[in-house]
Structure 1
Amino acid sequence: MPDDVDEPSSAQRRVLVLGGTRWLGRAVAARHVEQGAEVVCLARGAGGVVAAGAHLVVGDRDRGGAYDALEGDWDEVVDVTWMPRHASSALDELADRASHWTFVSSVSAQRTEGAPIGADEDDELVPEDAAGEEYGGAKAWIEREARERLGERLAIVRPGLIGGPGDESDRFGYWVGRLALAGEGPVLVPARDQPTQVIDVRDLTAFLVDQAPARADVVNAVGAELTLHALIAIARQLTGHTGELILASDAELEAVGVGHWSGPRALPLTLPAALASHAQRSSARYRAAGGQHRPLRETLEAALADERARGLDRSSASRLSRADELAAIDSLASRA
């Protein structure tokens, strides 16, 4: 080839994100755009906007013809759904047109009770739920269906608890947000220290975009193991909280109607003692595959900024309100 003739550039990668208008899906689309891919997001368009540089194709996966406007083949398809009917229809329409497929599953597809400490990707799955009535079971069903249809063109990534900027679940940001809101006031804390794991959404996004498309296996993308009390200690440093930590046993919390994990009267990130190993899963394969764990302080800093921007005392269906927390603290004091 003559020196003055440029060599033809490689074809632009085509990436399809099924969804892409909300937290993780939008972050994945944005990173693929940053890396020069042509990115299309198939979504109803009601949940938010697509990342800058991505193209929205409007389609409702609950209706026929949702995929009709998608043309050509895809180097990478990313699906984050937990609805079996959505996953099944996507595979019907697109499996033969995809060079690689990444399904974002969940560690909830694996048993939550009775798992050994340090359980890895080969631990038991929960019973499958093709009807999509139970989150973990639905993810387990989709995993099997995708394996059968895609074989070696499939990567399954199972995140644990995801935290960081943009968190729509209202779980991870609870503690740093609550400590900031409380200031010099008391904060209700479980007396039983317990393990917790969080993966920063930015680290998970990097793995889904940079590593997953070259893989054909299952990876549990979970955070580094730490304890809830250690997380709270860092959060107190960040927020300058000087109030009292009101330690309550599991029995005391139950007595005042405070529950675990998620809900309008729940303390997020907490688990019943019988489920503690659910937050002690091995991240060895994730790290060996190039996955990163940024310092927890960075994730908490981002979560705090997000909490402040959204309102520290906002109402949420996923966490104990400040008013209910103070009422619970008063009730505990009266029982003492």
Structure 2
Amino acid sequence: MQRTALLTAMMAALAVTGFCADWNPKLAADYLDSRQKEWFAWPRAKAEGGVCVSCHTGVTYLLARPVLRKALAESQPTVYEKGLLEGIHAQADAEGNRQGAEAVFAALFFSFQNAGSKTLSADAKRAFDRLWSLQIREGKDRGAWKWPNANHDPWSTPDAPFYGASLAALAVGTAPAEYRERADVKERIAALTDYLERERASQPLHNRLALVWASSKLPAALPAPLRKAILDEILRAQQPDGGWAIASLGPWRPHPEAPPSEGSNSYATAYAAFILQQAGMSRSDKAVARALDWLRAHQDRESGSWAADSLNSRHEPDSMQFRFMQDAATAFASLALLGK
């Protein structure tokens, strides 16, 4: 028993050493964990049953941390993964302006937990029942869900319901095929894909890339020719150094108080590199390889993070908000570099 544990620890150490030749996943994981510790203690993050699951710090953590755990040969989820998922579970029936987002997040992460099963788990079934009950039935956004709008790019704007609907499509595509073939579910999926079709052309590239991601699991969400056109658009925007400028994921709304951003940006590069791989592009593809090289070169060797500024405002360096985009950039960079 002790020998097995020792061998496991040695293999994990060797794996991290190998990664350290170009980037350090352990430092990235430590950074993300430290940010969750701060988030759980931040009064403004408190919510019924736990903490608010934010797009920038919570959702991205739940996407990246399980993948980092596997790469680092860690055996158990972190206390923050457990806490966020408990919060999602507790807030599944919450009311208020975040209920649509909470329903999408619950469906997404419980479907991920259920991935590979032929039937829905009890948690996933409850999450999807709630998701469909909150789907908008009339008006411009019929087929989507209500979404917070604080005029904060990229996740809380008038366009953001499209991003949320893309995550919902990703959740549905991850659910068992038997569930998707139910007549009542097919009707709801049709309303969702109709919304995505109606609103696609007006969306910033950031949101259309989320739709490409969703289509990797739910092909009906985006016909192949349109998928190719979006991928061609992001590939044309790649910078000579292999990265992407944040402006290339727009257009964004005017934010005069935002810090200026020139050249390649960590969040834009990490997000694009991740989506390209989700779309089926190989890590050896020239564009993907250049993007991954850029990410390897731009990890902060002390903190383990990838620096990225707010698209909306200037924040004090010691504020919680100062690192919101850095949290998302670090999560997506880890996912891209690990090929997940």
- The TM-score, its normalising length taken from structure 1, stands at 0.24
The structure richer in helix per residue is: 2
Higher-Rg member (1/2): 1
The structure richer in strand per residue is: 1
* Higher relative contact order, structure no. (Cα contacts within 8 Å, ≥ 6 residues apart): 2
- The TM-score, its normalising length taken from structure 2, stands at 0.23
